[in-house]
Structure 1
Amino acid sequence: MKTDERERERGSATPTPAPELREERPLALVQAVPWMIVIALLALAAWLGWRAFFYQEEGDPVGSAMLAFEKQNSLIVFSSRFEVVAESEDTRGVLGVPVLRSRQAMIIPATVEYRVDLSQVDRERMEWDAEAQRLTVRLPPLRTSRPNLDEARARVFQDGVFITRDASRDLSRNNSEQAERKAGEFARNPEVLALARTAAREAVRQNLAIPLQVAGYERASVRVTFDGEDAPPAP
């Protein structure tokens, strides 16, 4: 009789799941949550970086050009190196009577750089022809740097029976000021400015053509003008 009761109890008992099966899924889920957060943060950071540095709205070639200009405030387009001649005279006297007269001539190498101020080139200075895929850019006037005089390599010629130290110093100072003034005048010479503008046009074309091609405008061309100039004929 007791044996039959024990068999009925074993047959009616509901099997209990192993304890480790109930704990395995929650533990795996807890371990996966931090990794999911890390992956989500990495994806967000990558998207923000792409949006900030690489993303450009489709159909906005002017925006692509502006992005190329934003990376550099000014662009050195031309450097002119030449020599200027300066000559000064000095007279030293006693009681108003000239006693010592001296003369100094200098041939000084000078360098002047020509820059385009890209910070002034905004959307109003750009025009896009969608049909021809041509971008026309109007640049502000070129800026010239202060002449850099290489006085260490200057050739000096002096004339006088006796040249005092003060006279030599005054002659050199006067010649330096004269050379800087002459170098600035030479830098604004129309022929030299024409060469600098030609170099500027080519430099700007090269800086804009590649970004436009990368943006998908394979036939893109760039025309560059300066304030007060007529646009050149289309190629």
Structure 2
Amino acid sequence: MADALRRHAGPIALALLVLGVGAAMLVGWQRYNRDYIVSMEDDGSAVTKIIAEKISGASALRVSQLNGTIQSTAQDVRGFGWLKSDQVVKMPYSVDYFVDLSGLTAADLEWNAQTRTLIVNAPDVRPGKPNVDESRRTLVRTNGVFVTREAGEELSRRTSAHAQARAEASARSPERMAQARDYGRAALGKLMAAPLGAMGYGDARVLVTFPPERKDDHRERWDVTTPINEVLANKSQQR
């Protein structure tokens, strides 16, 4: 048996290599077709259509949203410095904030029986990717003696990239993150209060903490004696 495997090891390895290369080429072609091949009508005109789409599940809870209007600028220089152009764009944007609950376990929940307080040590709030709505631009001003098509496309790309970066920086600022955590605290508090009420703990208080707050050694602590999953299990048995 071992001799037979050794004899066929070379052909098997070659076949696997061929399959791997073929799969990589197929994936590369699919991406190229998705990103660069233009779909056409029978008359030769380009058509508006969905090229690729995918739906997936999510375990993150959206807790707040940042909305605003952003001004973005860009410059372009071509023709050995003779062709200079710039562009200013104003458009609305939004950023969603999420709390990923997929990793939340019973170890992250603490119960204080004396004060009837549930402490939720939640993962931190995370801002999502900024959504810059270029279809609702309120201002597009392009300056330049002669703006080539390539320069115009590059200006549009740069203003979009600058807007994305500026919106992300604003969303991650300490002030915005603090506000998002406040909204996250309220959202998680309501989420956790529902099962507590169903189990007969309607008067319980829910306290949500995030990692930056838990790093403070002087924050208020509670004498936790019983994990919350055991408390709820005992309550179910009593019923």
TM-score by length of 2: 0.63
Residue by residue, what CA displacement relative to the aligned partner does 1:35-68 show, whole Å, maximum 9, x if unpaired? xxxxxxxxxxxxxxxxxxxxxxxxxxxxxxxxxx
Partner of 2:200: 216
Q: CA deviation at 1:218?
A: 3.0
1:185 aligns to what SS in structure 2? helix
Residues 120, 209 of structure 2: 8 Å contact kept: yes
- Relative to the length of structure 1, the TM-score reads 0.64
CA shift at 1:232, angstroms?
Answer: 6.1
| Structure 2 residue aligned with 1:173 | 157
Q: Distance in 1 between matches of 2:76 and 2:99?
A: 41
Are 1:89 and 2:75 an aligned pair?
A: yes
In the TM superposition, what whole-angstrom CA distance separates every residue of 1:4-51 from its partner, at most 9, and x where no partner exists?
xxxxxxxxxxxxxxxxxxxxxxxxxxxxxxxxxxxxxxxxxxxxxxxx
1:156 to 140, 157, 161: 140
* Unmatched segments (≥5 aa) in structure 2: 1-57, 223-239
> What residue number does 1:75 align with?
61
The whole-number CA distance in structure 2 between the counterparts of 1:232 and 1:80 is 30
2:209 alignment counterpart: 225
Equivalent residues, number = 160
After superposition, residues 1-235 of structure 1 pair within 5 angstroms as 73-93=59-79, 96=80, 98-154=81-137, 155-230=139-214
Deviation for aligned residue 1:161 = 2.0
Q: Distance in 2 between matches of 1:192 and 1:137?
A: 22
The C-alpha deviation readout for 1:110-134, integer Å capped at 9, x for no partner, is 1111000111111111100112211
Tell me, yes or no, if the aligned pair for 2:112 and 2:118 is still in contact at 8 Å.
Answer: yes
Deviation for aligned residue 1:139? 1.0
Offset from partner CA, 1:184-206 (integer Å, 9 cap, x none)? 11110111111100000000111
Q: Please give the alpha-carbon distance, in whole angstroms, between the structure 2 residues aligned to 1:195 and 1:109.
A: 20
Letter in 1 for 2:67: R
**1:108 partner letter:** M
User: Cα–Cα, structure 1 residues 169 and 232, in superposed 2: closer, same or farther, change >3 Å?
Assistant: farther
CA offset at residue 85 of structure 1?
Answer: 2.0
Of structures 1 and 2, the larger Rg is shown by 1
Listed one character per residue, the Cα deviations across residues 152-176 of structure 1 (whole Å, up to 9, x for unaligned) are 1122111112211111111001111
Alpha-carbon distance in 2 for matches of 1:218, 1:143: 30
Instruction: Give the whole-Å Cα distance in 1 for the aligned partners of 2:126 and 2:159.
Output: 25
Question: What is the alpha-carbon distance in structure 2 between the residues aligned to residue 148 and residue 103 of structure 1?
Answer: 23
The 2-side partners of 1:80 and 1:117 are apart by 18
